[in-house]
Structure 1
Amino acid sequence: MNIAEITKQFADLAWGPHMLILLVGGGLFFLIYSRFVPFRYIGHAINVVRGKYPDDGAEGHISHAGALSSAMAGTVGMGNIGSVAVAIMVGGPGAIFWMWISAIVGMATKFFTCTLAIMYRGKDENGDVQGGPMYIITQGLSKKWHFLAVFFCVVGLIGNFPLFNSNQLVQIIREWVFVKPGHFPADQSTFWLDLSLGIVVMVIVASVILGGIKRIATVASKVVPLMILIYMSCAAYVIVTNIEQIPGYFSLIFSEAFSLNSVGGGILGTMLIGIRRAAFSNEAGIGTEVMAHGSAKTNEPVKEGLVAMLGPAIDTLLVCTATAMIILISGVWQGTEAEGVNLSAQAFEITMPGVGPYLLILCVIFFSISTIFTQAFYGGQCFAFLFGRKRIRFYQYFYLLAILFAATASLQEIVNIIDAAYALMAIPTMTSALLLAPKVRAAAKDYFSRLEKSH
């Protein structure tokens, strides 16, 4: 049995039906338990991001917009491009429907987890305010639950390694800049080319991550909105020029989601694939987003929960759906050996001949590198909790070296490793959020009551 098969078995075990119950069932509970109240304040959430409700003198490191941009930098990336392609290839079009469902309940999950991120912040050995599931657990729960904080950080070190994004970034540049135009023989080993590209990525990433969350947030807040605009403009062009096909593909997504003969192995198989890919895409309930929003400069926990709730709507309902439509319209998902981001690149080439793949490459470069920046912060938070912030440079150097491993590894091994780690990270994140849900509801009731009185 090879490494790919071993990692696949471990990922499948981690993502059993129990994860369906924990993530979707837990998200559905949050949706109902909140009485859908947060959803009525989406407009208010947007205004908070725009800076209309500043928190003067509040603790924290970055603005609401910076926190959302940092979290979005970690989610809007290869999960929206390569991961959607993986979902369609493995689970068929029906997997997209379950990604949507996961995103809707994920909005409620993020409201709860990221409200708790501010409510139960801790301090590191330097006295600086920090947030994340590990602090929610240690600050909000009794000592018998504290082992979950250590467990989250251990698996978080693995889950936040820059494996998938580095791998897919190197793959698309190799295939569309060097191999496809004929600058590099297609039948020749690409190891040294991949390694060289990995070194370039490593140097770029090092220039940002060694500056901490403030530099990451500054870069992310400038890059991410622009790249989303470019990407969605490309998608809008493809959708508008093929508008007559769109109803048929939406119908296909719905029918395949409930088909007993779907590519993903029936309804349950397709459902699990969609949820796995959505978790990798929007990270609701995984705990990474909690660390970004936990750094927000605010003393109003509910306000940050509302801001965080916007993430899955932008990430999965908009960007992932756009990617899915491009892939389905192109037809490349039927009868091709391409995988991950290369499948998306082929779809762009068919739907936007000539310029499509290169516009995608531009977006992929910025999406994936910004995600790698943010994952470095997430992993660093886990490392600092376990070993102290003064030793964080050791982790950052190891993190940078992991980019070289990812650049030369196979996609399947990478996907399996990250999938398994994400599933394990969800256990302490969702457990603590479910246990502390009454605290969030009480805080929400108080906040919305004060908000109504102020109007």
Structure 2
Amino acid sequence: MKLLDTLFAEMASLAWGLPLLVLLIGGGLYLLTRSGFIPFRYLGHAINVLRGKYDTEADAGEISHFQALTTALSATVGMGNISGVAVAIAIGGPGAVFWMWVSAVIGMSTKFFTASLSVMYRGKDSQGNIQGGPMYFITEGLGKSWKLLAAFFSIAGLVGALPVFNVNQLTQAINDLLLKPADLYAGTTTNLGIGLVLATITAIVVLGGLSRISKTTSRLVPAMVLLYFVMVLLILATNYSEVPKYLKLIVTDAFSASFFSGDSFLGGVVGGLILLGIRRGAFSNEAGIGTAPMAHGAAKTNEPIREGLVAMLGPAIDTLVVCTLTALAILVTGVWQSSDANGVSLTAEAFTVTLPIYGKYALLLCIAVFSISSLFSYSYYGTKCMGFLFGAENKKVYNIFYIASIILGATTSLSMMINLIDTFFALMAIPTMFTTIVLAPKVLKEAKRYFSTLKKPD
């Protein structure tokens, strides 16, 4: 296991090098400026689309705009926001949060383009069903001769969609917040038991297909985001005098890296901090990775730009709002300096310090719902990749592999799981970002047509 841990760490370090940073951030900046900042100019219109103002029952697709966004958010608003932020602060200090913000702002534009493409260039699977996602906009947009690139994305997606990180952190949370204080923890046996329960719950939902997944997540995610939001506001209200200080420190430390303890990058600690923030930001909002477009490609719409506008709200919600709330909760309570904990345990300490009676249990409820809803969404992404590679009739085979991996995630270390997923997220981003940049003019042409039909941004 130690050898595997070292191998995955080396793989992640190699995958997240300068070329990928240029592709994700440089490519995102190119899309943002080339679009004339469209994502920010039509925020009001995006919210109206999300509310269902433009829904038409006759449109192609399986699920509503709202269900597409909540399905995508159930994968992104989860452990990346609660545990991923804690990992970033534990290694990089407050400055890591600033670079996660940068990732999110740029990511809004990237999500706009990738989700628009996933509707513009829908393809058909081997059973004749309409599908969306990077593998389809590669083959439909660039042509069948690029099928190898689409296959590369799908192979990486088979591993990248595995729920091992979410399960690992949920298991850690259940142990630290519930079982260990009650003296009920029995090591690997307990972890295995938790894994089996999670595998059973996941099997019941994911074997029901996208319809059941989207209906479940559209009910669970908004309620848990609200509960989490209220709890963090209580923590911030209790420590209100510390908030301005840490907001300032997030910005200043981003350029000094005073608390950074990771590996340097491009010859310096600031470079290492930037890379850390971008990696954790990408894990949080998945902009440019290619997972969310698979959910948005199933949206019931004949207007690709509408789905692009809805998708761009994702990074704003999960990174600019939820990640910032988590970061401030960890920072203002001081646990980031007083504790050796990492991941979800660090976030839990912040909640326990300020809300000692019920805080950790409410956090555990949020973690459980976020993690379990993520399990549902990622299974959908994996089956899409499986269907593309081996035929839609075989996609359910992936669910067996997927459900078995839940046991793996529950019984292995945090570092191994986070490095494994980081590596394959990086590999998924390469074909996604390359194709999005090449096809960007097609999206802009479609956007010009669509916005010309609107009297004004609403």
TM-score bracket for the superposition, by shorter chain length: over 0.9
CA distance in structure 2 between the aligned counterparts of 1:349 and 1:240, rounded to whole angstroms:
15
* Residue 223 of structure 1, aligned match among 220, 223, 235: 220
- Written as runs of structure 1 = structure 2, the 5 A alignment for 1:139-178 is 139-178=140-179
Displacement, 1:19? 1.7
Q: Structure 2 stretches of 5 or more lacking a match? A: none
CA distance in structure 1 between the aligned counterparts of 2:20 and 2:337, rounded to whole angstroms:
29
Residue 188 of structure 2 corresponds to: 191
Counterpart amino acid of residue 280 in structure 2 = R
Whether 1:248 and 2:245 are equivalent positions in the alignment is: yes
Displacement, 1:17? 1.5
Displacement, 1:261? 4.2
CA distance in structure 1 between the aligned counterparts of 2:251 and 2:336, rounded to whole angstroms:
17
Displacement, 1:146? 2.3
Residues 60-112 of structure 1: CA deviation (Å, up to 9, x unaligned): 10000010010001100000000000000112111100000000000000000
Residue 425 of structure 1 corresponds to: 428
Counterpart amino acid of residue 81 in structure 1 = I
Q: Is the 8 A contact 1:83 1:340 kept in 2?
A: yes
Q: Is the 8 A contact 2:139 2:145 kept in 1?
A: no
Residue 327 of structure 2 corresponds to: 324
Displacement, 1:260? 5.2
Counterpart amino acid of residue 91 in structure 1 = G
Q: Is the 8 A contact 1:81 1:323 kept in 2?
A: yes
Residues 382-435 of structure 1: CA deviation (Å, up to 9, x unaligned): 001001111122110111010001100111000000000001100000000000
Whether 1:62 and 2:59 are equivalent positions in the alignment is: no
CA distance in structure 2 between the aligned counterparts of 1:429 and 1:435, rounded to whole angstroms:
10
Residue 345 of structure 1 corresponds to: 348
Counterpart amino acid of residue 113 in structure 1 = T
- Written as runs of structure 1 = structure 2, the 5 A alignment for 1:303-322 is 303-322=306-325
CA distance in structure 2 between the aligned counterparts of 1:215 and 1:232, rounded to whole angstroms:
26
Residue 96 of structure 2 corresponds to: 95
Whether 1:336 and 2:310 are equivalent positions in the alignment is: no
CA distance in structure 2 between the aligned counterparts of 1:260 and 1:218, rounded to whole angstroms:
43
Q: Is the 8 A contact 1:69 1:220 kept in 2?
A: yes
Q: What is the SS of the residue equivalent to 2:62?
A: coil
Q: Structure 1 stretches of 5 or more lacking a match? A: none
Displacement, 1:113? 0.5
Residues 159-197 of structure 1: CA deviation (Å, up to 9, x unaligned): 00010011111111012111123233xxxx510000001
Counterpart amino acid of residue 297 in structure 2 = G
Residue 133 of structure 2 corresponds to: 132
* Residue 370 of structure 2, aligned match among 360, 367, 371: 367
CA distance in structure 1 between the aligned counterparts of 2:314 and 2:448, rounded to whole angstroms:
22
Whether 1:411 and 2:414 are equivalent positions in the alignment is: yes
CA distance in structure 2 between the aligned counterparts of 1:10 and 1:382, rounded to whole angstroms:
22
CA distance in structure 2 between the aligned counterparts of 1:98 and 1:164, rounded to whole angstroms:
22
Single out whichever of 80-89 and 142-151 deviates more from structure 2: 142-151
- Written as runs of structure 1 = structure 2, the 5 A alignment for 1:427-446 is 427-446=430-449
CA distance in structure 1 between the aligned counterparts of 2:47 and 2:431, rounded to whole angstroms:
29
Residue 298 of structure 2 corresponds to: 295
Residue 452 of structure 2 corresponds to: 449
Q: Is the 8 A contact 2:207 2:399 kept in 1?
A: yes
Q: Is the 8 A contact 1:70 1:220 kept in 2?
A: yes
Q: Is the 8 A contact 1:262 1:270 kept in 2?
A: no
Counterpart amino acid of residue 147 in structure 1 = L
Displacement, 1:329? 1.2
Counterpart amino acid of residue 289 in structure 1 = A
Q: What is the SS of the residue equivalent to 1:334?
A: helix
CA distance in structure 2 between the aligned counterparts of 1:51 and 1:155, rounded to whole angstroms:
34
* Residue 213 of structure 1, aligned match among 210, 217, 238: 210
Displacement, 1:256? 1.1
Q: Is the 8 A contact 2:42 2:457 kept in 1?
A: no
Displacement, 1:335? 4.4
Whether 1:111 and 2:112 are equivalent positions in the alignment is: yes
Q: Is the 8 A contact 1:326 1:351 kept in 2?
A: no
Counterpart amino acid of residue 337 in structure 1 = D
Residue 236 of structure 1 corresponds to: 233
Counterpart amino acid of residue 223 in structure 1 = L
Q: What is the SS of the residue equivalent to 2:341?
A: coil
Residue 385 of structure 1 corresponds to: 388
Counterpart amino acid of residue 158 in structure 2 = L
Q: What is the SS of the residue equivalent to 2:328?
A: helix
Q: TM-score, normalised by structure 1?
A: 0.97
Whether 1:179 and 2:180 are equivalent positions in the alignment is: yes
Residues 361-390 of structure 1: CA deviation (Å, up to 9, x unaligned): 000000000001000000010001001111
Q: Is the 8 A contact 1:92 1:262 kept in 2?
A: yes
Displacement, 1:144? 4.2
Q: What is the SS of the residue equivalent to 1:59?
A: coil
CA distance in structure 1 between the aligned counterparts of 2:35 and 2:298, rounded to whole angstroms:
24
Residues 13-40 of structure 1: CA deviation (Å, up to 9, x unaligned): 1001212111111111111001012311
Displacement, 1:262? 4.2
Residue 123 of structure 1 corresponds to: 124
CA distance in structure 2 between the aligned counterparts of 1:225 and 1:278, rounded to whole angstroms:
21
CA distance in structure 1 between the aligned counterparts of 2:16 and 2:230, rounded to whole angstroms:
34
Change (3 A) 1:174 1:126: same
Q: TM-score, normalised by structure 2?
A: 0.96
CA distance in structure 2 between the aligned counterparts of 1:243 and 1:176, rounded to whole angstroms:
26
Residue 23 of structure 1 corresponds to: 24
Consecutive aligned runs of 4 or more in structure 1 exceeding 6 Å deviation: none
Counterpart amino acid of residue 203 in structure 2 = A
Residue 71 of structure 1 corresponds to: 72
Displacement, 1:454? 11
Residues 245-293 of structure 1: CA deviation (Å, up to 9, x unaligned): 1111011111111015441442110000000001111000000001000
Displacement, 1:230? 0.2
Counterpart amino acid of residue 250 in structure 1 = L
Counterpart amino acid of residue 330 in structure 1 = T
Displacement, 1:453? 7.3
CA-based RMSD: 1.3
Counterpart amino acid of residue 13 in structure 2 = D
Residue 288 of structure 2 corresponds to: 285
CA distance in structure 2 between the aligned counterparts of 1:144 and 1:59, rounded to whole angstroms:
27
